[in-house]
Amino acid sequence: MNFFRTALLLAALTALFMGIGYMLGGQAGMMIAFAVAAGMNIFSYWNSDKMVLRMHRAREVDAQTAPEFYNLVKDLAARAELPMPRVFILDEDQPNAFATGRNPQNAAVAATRGLLQTMSREQIAGVMAHELAHVKHRDTLTMTITATLAGAISMLANFAFFFGGARNNNNPLGIVGVILMMIVAPLAAMLVQMAISRTREYAADREGAEICGQPLWLASALENLEAGARRIQNPEAERNPATAHMFIVNPLSGQRMDNLFSTHPATANRVAALEELASEMGQGSGAALGRGGPVTGEAGGRSGSVPRSGSVPRTGHRRRGPWG
């Protein structure tokens, strides 16, 4: 259902681009705007992982520097049948996480210090499974296509502002139509882009819950993540708000509803969907969390809070959780 909705929204964005482009810039203007936007976003697609990780001053860790966290990701990646991604830690107190990379072979996952220090091992597993679901779904590619179309529409609106629209009869409303399109077109494109972002979050929640085998682990984590994001600032995210949509919860400010201008669904709605999934899987509230402590993410941290590598059976069928 989420895949169908994403495809439908992408089709709507494409149709919006084609229609507005023809009215504002004619065929030539439409193709120029699309080519420029595509070039910019192709560059971003190939380099976005490096740019984003650099923006947030992420530091890469491995089995020697952060064995518990690294091995947790390794086990979950094996369970999801994904190549091992690069693993990073952000030196931020706000609990949060994101994934980046143009495909599963070039993926990276990152978690903040606050996430590793305040969440239980089950909650961390739910969060990282969600991020691996983004990698599995190739959501970076989906959002790049979306950004290309939305950017091209915004460029067409700028063309109309500077050049007064196409000198033809494509626009039956004349200058009034041009002015309306200048205002409405970028706004409509932004709304569709944000709707696609929200849809991909719901899809990653579901897939992530299936990867770790326990939807309530992620549900519990989401509630704590939202509370932490409201209480603790993320300075790097504040300086780079364009990357906010990448995080599992909005690092800038909390949203109580799936409003049209939000890149993230309401946490309450996400939790409700996960609880419904848990019910479908025959899990009660008792399956929500174990007693594992937080993960420090550093060598020499709390032992036993994350499973050792190899604890996830690498079989083809689903297990109830990453620890068997």
* Domain assignment present for 180: yes
* Whole-angstrom distance, CA of residue 238 vs CA of residue 130: 23
Q: Is residue 317 part of a domain?
A: no
Query: Who has greater pLDDT, 200 or 170?
Result: 200
Choice among 68, 122, 131, 236 that is catalytic: 131
Tokens of 81: 């049948």
State residue 254's pLDDT score.
45
Residue 324 has pLDDT above 60, yes or no: no
Residue 80 lies in a domain: yes
**Mean pLDDT over residues 5-32, rounded?**
66
Alpha-carbon span 18 to 13, nearest angstrom: 9
Backbone angles phi, psi at 255, to 5 degrees: -125, 130
- 134 among the known binding-site residues? yes
Residue 23 pLDDT exceeds 70: no
For 233, counting Cβ atoms within 10 Å of its Cβ (0-12 exposed, 13-18 middle, 19+ buried), the class is middle
Instruction: For residue 81, say whether it is annotated as part of any ligand binding site.
Output: no
Highest-confidence segment of 147-156, 190-199, 297-306, 307-316 = 190-199
For the chain, the domain total comes to: 1
CA–CA gap between residue 32 and residue 69 (Å, rounded)? 46
**CA 119 vs CA 79, 115, 301, 322: distances in Å:** 21, 6, 14, 16
Nearest to residue 261, comparing CAs of 250, 248, 246, 269?
250
* Contact by Cβ (8 Å): 142, 148: no
Domain span holding position 80: 2-282
Task: For residues 320 and 264, give the distance between their C-alpha atoms in angstroms, rounded to a whole number.
Answer: 27
Give φ, ψ of 64 to 5 degrees: -90, -40
| Per-residue pLDDT tens over the stretch 223-267 | 999 999 889 988 888 887 767 778 999 888 544 444 555 778 889
Distance CA 192, CA 189 (A): 5
| CA–CA distances in Å: residue 87 to residues 71, 214, 222 | 10, 22, 21
260-266 long-range contacts (CB < 8 A, ≥24 apart) are 260/191, 260/194, 260/195, 261/190, 261/191, 261/194, 262/194, 262/198, 263/194, 263/197, 263/198, 264/197, 264/198, 264/201, 265/198, 265/201, 265/202
Does residue 305 lie within any of the structural domains?
no
Question: Does 317 appear as a known binding residue?
Answer: no
pLDDT band (50, 70, 90) for residue 24: low
Q: What is the pTM of this model?
A: 0.72
User: Crossing angle for the helix pair 139-163 and 121-136, nearest 10 degrees?
Assistant: 60
Residue 322 has pLDDT above 50, yes or no: no
pLDDT at 261: 54
pLDDT confidence of residue 103? 86
What mean pLDDT comes out for the span 274-297?
67
Helical H segments across the chain, by residue range: 2-55, 67-79, 113-118, 121-136, 139-163, 174-212, 215-231, 235-239, 267-280
C-alpha span between 254 and 285 (Å, rounded) = 26
The mean-pLDDT minimum among 115-124, 285-294, 306-315 falls in 306-315
Mean pLDDT in residue range 79-96 = 95
Active site includes 131? yes
Report yes or no on 299 lying in a domain. no
What does the alpha-carbon distance between residue 291 and residue 62 come to, in Å, rounded to a whole number? Answer: 25
- Token pair recorded at residue 212: 């770790």
Distance, in Å, from the CA atom of 298 to the CA atom of 311, rounded to the nearest integer, reads 20
Rg (CA), the chain: 21
Asked if residue 288 belongs to a domain, the reply is no
- C-alpha–C-alpha distance, residues 241 and 250, integer Å: 10
Is 310 part of any domain? no
Task: Give the amino acid at 49.
Answer: D
138 in any annotated domain: yes
The answer to whether 323 and 251 have CB atoms below 8 angstroms apart is no
Using the predicted structure, report yes or no on whether residue 163 has a pLDDT greater than 50: yes
Model confidence at 277, in pLDDT bands (50, 70, 90)? Answer: very high
User: pLDDT tens digit string along 27-69?
Assistant: 776 677 677 667 766 776 677 678 788 888 899 999 999 999 9
What pLDDT band is residue 177 in, cutting at 50, 70 and 90?
low
